[in-house]
Amino acid sequence: MDDTADTAQVIVRPPLAWGLAVIAGFALDWLVPLPFLPAGLAAGWFGGLVFALALALFAWAIVTMTRAGSSVPTNLPTATIVESGPYRFTRNPIYLGMLLGLVGLAIAFDNLWLLVMLVPFALVIRYGVVAREEAYLERKFGDAYRGYRSRVRRWL
């Protein structure tokens, strides 16, 4: 396999998709504010906590993958199947962290549009990124990946 073929060929880099979802959510909220939480609720603290947990999961997953000697960016070849750290519980902890991060921001800023943006973001990640990554990993690692996939859930 040459280096250009030895990638998942995802349709968009996940951090870019996440950033676009956040920007769209804040822009829509600026145009048409849609609060969804009861007044007086300490949503900022709770949303901040959810966001911090999402960031911790995201960082843990990146550190685990890097220490295992594999690449994090989707446009680089994958060197190995990582089965330690958060990858024991979910095959996609980075994307799960991104989804939880959107939820945390939505709560912290009482912004329903950020929750709405979960739908297109999740669809793009699931079908434009994860599906392609799974096909790539199965082609590259065969039975080793199929075994991992049978033991660990895609999300939770």
Question: Which own/partner contact pairs does 125-132 have at CB distance under 8 Å and 24+ positions apart?
Answer: 125/14, 125/17, 125/95, 125/98, 125/99, 128/10, 128/11, 128/12, 129/8, 129/10, 129/11, 129/12, 129/14, 129/17, 129/74, 129/95, 130/92, 130/95, 130/154, 132/8, 132/9, 132/10, 132/11
127: pLDDT strictly greater than 60: yes
| Predicted pLDDT at 4 | 54
In this prediction the pTM is 0.93
Give the tens place of pLDDT for each residue, 84-116: 999 999 999 999 999 999 999 999 999 999 999
**pLDDT tens digits, residue range 48-77?**
999 999 999 999 999 999 999 999 999 999
